Structure 1
Amino acid sequence: METGGPMRKLAMFGGTFNPIHNGHLHLVQGFRERLGLDRVLLIPSRVPPHKAAADLADAKDRLEMCRLAAQPYGLEVSDAELLRQGPSYTVDTLRQLHRENPGAELYLLMGADMFLTLEHWYQSGELFRLARMCAAPRDENGRGELLAYAERIESLGAKTHVEELSLLPVSSTLVRGRIARGLPIAGLVPKAVEAYITAHHLYGGISNG
């Protein structure tokens, strides 16, 4: 994992990124601005433990798409979970970040759905000790649910941030579905990612080349 000198606020945003899309980037940018984050690491998972991995692109392709998407935004990308054998448990990644960045305050960024399952994550108590849990509601009606859950896990030792961020209605499932049906994905993913998907025939797409 590539790490520089100690920074005050270091965030990780993990996921399958199958593929990474503009909704991911918009969310990360919102968190970075709202929380004053110094560094943000995008960390694609090798074997996601929380959901089925249907139509999962090869790890090297997902990593490269993350790198292409991250570059214009000054984000960093880590292959830490892709190199690790077995399921990608977030607590293991946070332990590694803590070891390699002892002066940093760690933040774990996520969407609402993942946030609402945190107490059931592997070694959740250790997870809460290592980093601040950060989420944004899916819509204007979701803030109350997140705040109530934040209060619940704070009683278990968590430190939380529930932020009001505008979200883009994009999902990896939507992107893959449009590709498989031969529909355009312009505006849903960065142009460099779109070009990579086309060039490498990912998700059932047909190359224009």
Structure 2
Amino acid sequence: MKIGILGGTFDPIHFGHIRPALEVQQQLALDEVWLMPNHIPPHKNGTHVSTDDRLAMAQAVCEAFPPLKLCAIEALRESPSYTVTTLQELKLQYPQHEFYFLMGMDSFLGLQSWYQWQDLFELCHLVVCQRPGSNMSVEHPMHAVLTKHECVPITTIETESIEASIATKSGLIFRVSITEQPFSSTQVRADLYQGLTIKDALPVCIQRYIKQHQLYASKAINSPQKS
């Protein structure tokens, strides 16, 4: 199967995560998109609610949106999660699958700072989600990487190249235009803390979970949790 992977802290998960994942799934005809909550993100000190809560919220979203599935491989790891390590494990567990790792253009521009980033092309395809009209400068170091790996529209390449692209299970870059979403987890947490309405940002299942478990109150905002 063709499996998209969307990693993140998901603290909390919101439509800024969900809608782009569904758009990519439809545009690239992926069989599923796996939501992969981090446990200990290498670039963050911790999270505002427990890993169990973030897993439960991601699972609730998967139940509400069937193309999405939960992948707990990083959440269950007791050490910082590096993408290349995770993909190596997934390839061993699911050799039959073809993986598509989703990231924003900002993340792609900073990819050279990622741990063993060049090995990603041996493990998966990259899906770079960008807002309509946004472009990368030709002077940027990652422009050469994009040029080398990008899968261009079928109408512009030779038949042999099409067949080669179909045959390969990793190493391509797909640029996908997505609808811009005006949501961020930071803003959602701030709005919850102030008691503001967040219905547009969160699916009903997440609103219900946050209310039932009294998440993102003053204590949770000010005291990041690591478990």
**TM-score, normalization by structure 1:** 0.86
> Which of 14, 19, 33 lines up with 1:21 in the alignment?
14
Distance in 2 (CA, whole Å) between partners of 1:40 and 1:134 is 12
Distance in 2 (CA, whole Å) between partners of 1:124 and 1:156 is 15
Q: CA RMSD in A?
A: 2.3
Deviation digits for residues 61-118 of structure 1 (CA, Å, limit 9, x no counterpart): 0000001111121111011111112111111111121112212221101222222211
AA aligned to 1:190 is P
Identify the residue that residue 101 of structure 1 maps to in structure 2: 94
Deviation digits for residues 123-174 of structure 1 (CA, Å, limit 9, x no counterpart): 112112111111222x44423359x665332478652111111121111111
Cα deviation, residue 204, structure 1: 1.0
Determine if the alignment matches structure 1 residue 64 to structure 2 residue 64. Answer: no
Distance in 1 (CA, whole Å) between partners of 2:137 and 2:189 is 30
Q: Secondary structure at the match of 1:81?
A: coil
CA distance 1:155–1:187, shift in 2 (3 Å): closer
Distance in 1 (CA, whole Å) between partners of 2:141 and 2:177 is 15
Determine if the alignment matches structure 1 residue 120 to structure 2 residue 113. Answer: yes
Gaps of 5+ in 1: 1-6
Q: Assess if the C-alpha contact under 8 Å between 1:150 and 1:160 holds in 2.
A: no
Q: Assess if the C-alpha contact under 8 Å between 2:128 and 2:174 holds in 1.
A: yes
> Which of 30, 35, 39 lines up with 2:28 in the alignment?
35
Distance in 1 (CA, whole Å) between partners of 2:133 and 2:44 is 25
For this pair of structures, how many residues does the alignment match?
Answer: 197
Considering only CA atoms, is the larger Rg found in Structure 1 or Structure 2? Answer: 2
Q: Secondary structure at the match of 1:163?
A: strand
Distance in 2 (CA, whole Å) between partners of 1:133 and 1:143 is 17
Distance in 1 (CA, whole Å) between partners of 2:217 and 2:30 is 37
Determine if the alignment matches structure 1 residue 180 to structure 2 residue 193. Answer: yes
> Which of 148, 152, 160 lines up with 2:173 in the alignment?
160
Q: Assess if the C-alpha contact under 8 Å between 2:4 and 2:101 holds in 1.
A: yes
Identify the residue that residue 221 of structure 2 maps to in structure 1: none
Distance in 2 (CA, whole Å) between partners of 1:119 and 1:18 is 25
Percent of paired sites with the same residue: 35
Distance in 2 (CA, whole Å) between partners of 1:71 and 1:92 is 27
Q: Assess if the C-alpha contact under 8 Å between 2:136 and 2:143 holds in 1.
A: no
Distance in 2 (CA, whole Å) between partners of 1:51 and 1:117 is 16
CA distance 1:163–1:156, shift in 2 (3 Å): closer
Q: Secondary structure at the match of 2:187?
A: helix
Q: Secondary structure at the match of 1:168?
A: coil
Q: Assess if the C-alpha contact under 8 Å between 1:112 and 1:135 holds in 2.
A: yes
Gaps of 5+ in 2: 150-170, 219-227
